[in-house]
């Protein structure tokens, strides 16, 4: 039976976190700790123009006076910001010119992760199979970006952030920090000072990006943090779909991942941003180790009729603290947020979204599915607000939580701020456990308890899964099953 076989394979492959290996490569580090010199070091390493260095230093000055926030329902020991490396890069004599020059160890790592970096592998696939361009970020630097030539023909710029700063300085300067201001919050401010790499996308007016773009982030080096910065600009009437995936090795220590993602959608443009986050969640028994995923993601629907859609599958990280948001500035712009957040073991997640309605007739839709198992804690926190000018704004929010086990927790904290009489907001939320009746029914049909739970959970999250691009949907579905491993019985 195919389902049974697949389950057995899952269990075997995923007794442990399967991306938990470390790749032994020569790495170059910035000295441990954080001061203005660290920032100068990073900036010099990346051969950045003067304005970029000043921008970073200014961010650092502001970060020093900011206080670490404590309002989320997550608990962790104080982070010692001086006890980490802020820059780790695979050692190369010069930047790789082509795939052949990339350290084979790194390529092997991505191979293990199942990322089709090599274009040949994609091309070798079925004729007409969808292609997707990949930007791979290893610790602090982007190691390779594929399909550049083909994208360039369409006029799409897809490259690493460091390259964009050097070669498309004007665009970067215009948009960087325009959605998430430097001192927006503690972690975004830290990121502005020390960000190392990330992806940059620019889609020119009227262009529909010919393929899915994707980035894989991998934290490899010990005691290091990853601070990537992604900036996507969809010019008037353009469309782009972007995927992001993350993994990290198994370690006893906690590692910080404080990224900033900024999306700008101009008139009639559309951005679809999908994330499958599978950072190392820490040891399920002791809660030791794992990634602190403190990320600021925000989209600015600047132009009329623009649209941004966030889809996220959050299964990893010891602590997840993020709220992909949409600022609906343009009239008739719309924002969507589809989320599956699964916590197991000792994981903690405080995640959700913000839909800020500024323009007239703006629309937003939020579908959130939280599943908590083991001894984990899962919080949905979301804000929907309508400003006095947002006449005719509409929001629909649905958040459902599923509890599996006696010692887990699920919280729902929606904030609704309506400041005009012509906005309509609807919110509904439920919290339940898996229905005994449904379980019984499915098991009666011959499925084991584990299989039955998987089937029901997949049904529970279906609304969100179907929003993911095809390739990711399959991966995400498996990930959902894997994450719940050992949560029943």
Q: Could you list the residues that contact other proteins (CB under 8 A)?
A: 71, 388, 391, 401, 403-433
Q: 168 or 411, CB closer to other proteins?
A: 411
Supply the minimum distance, in Å, between the C-beta of residue 338 and other proteins: 20
Q: 71 or 98, CB closer to other proteins?
A: 71
The residues pairing with 338 across neighbouring beta strands, listed in sequence order, are 311, 367
CA dist 291 and 278 (Å) reads: 10
Taking Cα atoms as reference points, which of 255, 262, 207, 251 lies closest to residue 229? 262
Collapsing DSSP to helix, strand or coil, 400 comes out as strand
Supply the minimum distance, in Å, between the C-beta of residue 344 and other proteins: 14
Tokens coding 188: 């975004």
Q: Is 139 left (phi over 0), alpha (psi -120 to 50) or beta?
A: left
Tokens coding 61: 């000055």
Contact 123, 111 (CB under 8 A): no
Q: 149 or 406, CB closer to other proteins?
A: 406
Supply the minimum distance, in Å, between the C-beta of residue 434 and other proteins: 9
What contacts 371, CB < 8 A, 6 or more positions away? 340, 341, 342, 343, 378, 401, 402, 404, 457, 460, 461, 484
Taking Cα atoms as reference points, which of 417, 413, 455 lies closest to residue 434? 455
Q: 196 or 368, CB closer to other proteins?
A: 368
Q: 186 or 239, CB closer to other proteins?
A: 186
Q: 258 or 410, CB closer to other proteins?
A: 410
CA dist 319 and 281 (Å) reads: 8
What contacts 152, CB < 8 A, 6 or more positions away? none
The owner of tokens 């370690």 is 251
Residues belonging to the chain: 489
Contact 52, 43 (CB under 8 A): yes
Q: 246 or 410, CB closer to other proteins?
A: 410
What contacts 436, CB < 8 A, 6 or more positions away? none
Supply the minimum distance, in Å, between the C-beta of residue 401 and other proteins: 7
Supply the minimum distance, in Å, between the C-beta of residue 432 and other proteins: 6
Supply the minimum distance, in Å, between the C-beta of residue 362 and other proteins: 15
Taking Cα atoms as reference points, which of 105, 98, 211 lies closest to residue 152? 211
The owner of tokens 């304005």 is 51
Supply the minimum distance, in Å, between the C-beta of residue 407 and other proteins: 7
Tokens coding 3: 């389902």
Supply the minimum distance, in Å, between the C-beta of residue 397 and other proteins: 8
Supply the minimum distance, in Å, between the C-beta of residue 408 and other proteins: 7
């Amino acid at each position: 039976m195919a389902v049974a076989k697949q389950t057995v394979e899952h269990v075997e492959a995923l007794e442990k976190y399967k991306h938990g290996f470390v790749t032994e490569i020569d790495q170059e580090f910035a000295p441990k700790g954080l001061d203005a010199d660290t920032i100068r070091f990073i900036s010099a390493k990346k051969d950045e123009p003067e304005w970029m260095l000043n921008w970073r230093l200014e961010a650092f000055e502001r970060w020093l006076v900011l206080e670490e926030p404590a309002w989320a329902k997550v608990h962790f020991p104080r982070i010692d910001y001086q006890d980490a490396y802020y820059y780790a890069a695979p050692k190369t004599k010069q930047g790789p010119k082509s795939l052949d020059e990339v350290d084979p160890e790194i390529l092997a790592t991505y191979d293990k992760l199942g990322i089709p970096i090599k274009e040949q592998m994609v091309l070798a696939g079925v004729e007409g199979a969808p292609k997707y361009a990949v930007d791979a970020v290893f610790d602090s630097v982007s190691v390779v970006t594929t399909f550049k030539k083909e994208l360039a023909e369409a006029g799409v710029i897809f490259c690493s952030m460091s390259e964009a700063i050097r070669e498309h300085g004007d665009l970067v300067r215009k948009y960087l920090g325009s959605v998430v201001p430097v001192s927006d919050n503690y972690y975004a401010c830290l990121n502005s000072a020390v960000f190392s790499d990330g992806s940059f996308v620019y889609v020119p007016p009227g262009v529909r990006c010919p393929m899915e773009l994707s980035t894989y982030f991998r934290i490899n080096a010990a005691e290091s943090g990853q601070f990537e910065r992604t900036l996507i600009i969809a010019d008037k009437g353009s469309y782009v779909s972007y995927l992001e995936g993350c993994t990290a090795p198994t370690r006893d220590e906690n590692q910080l991942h404080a990224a900033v993602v900024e999306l700008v959608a101009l008139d009639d443009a559309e951005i679809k941003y999908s994330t499958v986050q599978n950072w190392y969640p820490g040891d399920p028994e002791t809660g030791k180790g794992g990634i602190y995923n403190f990320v600021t993601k925000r989209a600015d629907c600047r132009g009329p009729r623009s649209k941004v859609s966030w889809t996220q599958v959050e299964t990893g990280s010891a602590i997840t603290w993020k709220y992909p948001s949409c600022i609906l500035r343009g009239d008739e712009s719309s924002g969507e947020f589809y989320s599956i957040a699964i916590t197991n073991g000792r994981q903690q997640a405080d995640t959700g979204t913000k839909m800020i309605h500024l323009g007239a007739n703006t629309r937003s839709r939020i579908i959130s599915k939280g599943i908590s198992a083991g001894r984990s804690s899962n919080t949905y926190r979301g804000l929907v607000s309508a400003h006095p000018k947002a006449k005719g704004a509409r929001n629909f929010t649905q958040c459902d939580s599923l509890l599996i086990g006696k010692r887990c927790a699920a919280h729902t904290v929606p904030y609704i701020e309506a400041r005009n009489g012509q906005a309509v907001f609807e919110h509904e939320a439920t919290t339940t456990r898996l229905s005994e009746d449904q379980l019984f029914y499915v098991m009666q049909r011959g499925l084991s308890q584990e299989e039955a739970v998987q089937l029901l959970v997949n049904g529970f999250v279906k609304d969100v899964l179907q929003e993911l691009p095809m390739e990711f949907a399959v991966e995400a579905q498996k990930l959902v099953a894997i994450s719940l491993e050992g949560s029943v019985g």
